[in-house]
Amino acid sequence: MDRKQQQGIAVIEFTLVLPILVLIIFTTVELGRLLFQYSELTRMARSGGRFIANTAIVNTTGTLPSTLSDANCDFCISKMKRVLLAGDTVNSASNLSGLTAADITVVEYPADSGVLVVSVSYDWTPLFSDKLQTFSFAEDIDISFNLNASYAVTAL
């Protein structure tokens, strides 16, 4: 074989392998992004939980209000949601795009235990596309899913 034929074969081999390499790279990037966002979500739930543990009890009785609401705890739930989303009690812009205050819940569970559970639900979507193309062989496969993080803390 002469040199020109070998170069032609190398180009063909590269052309065949390139889509597989690109797919592996994009998959690795998406998996890393997914793990980072889940880690960020759990960190945010912990910071919100620590905040509400210190602010839910507003009087000196040492017990939570019978109904945990903003009116009973000096707006502690709204402030906790802002701390969870943005890291402070003033801003409300989220560190994760698409995460809103409506995705955050806080409940006392079990009832009258003093344990507050902060739950965050986040709809994760891939960076490039939220559907896996099947090229008309079947319906496209939805690859977005919901990430949930919860943190339980005793009110102080």
Binned at pLDDT 50, 70 and 90, residue 90 comes out as confident
> Which pLDDT score, from 0 to 100, does residue 60 have?
60
Residue 127, sorted as left (phi over 0), alpha (psi -120 to 50) or beta, turns out to be alpha
pTM of the complete model beyond 0.85 = no
Exposed/middle/buried for residue 96 (C-beta within 10 Å: 0-12, 13-18, 19+): middle
Across the range 55-84, mean pLDDT stands at 81
What is the number of residues in the chain? 156
What domain range includes position 113? 3-154
pLDDT tens per residue across span 16-35: 999 999 989 998 999 999 99
- According to DSSP, residue 75 is labeled T
**What's the N-to-C CA distance of the chain in angstroms?**
80
The count of structural domains within the chain is: 1
7-20 per-position pLDDT tens digit = 788 889 999 999 99
Tokens of 103: 């995705």
pLDDT band at 65 (very low <50, low <70, confident <90, very high): confident
* 98 token code pair: 């698409």
Q: Give percent of the chain with pLDDT exceeding 70.
A: 96
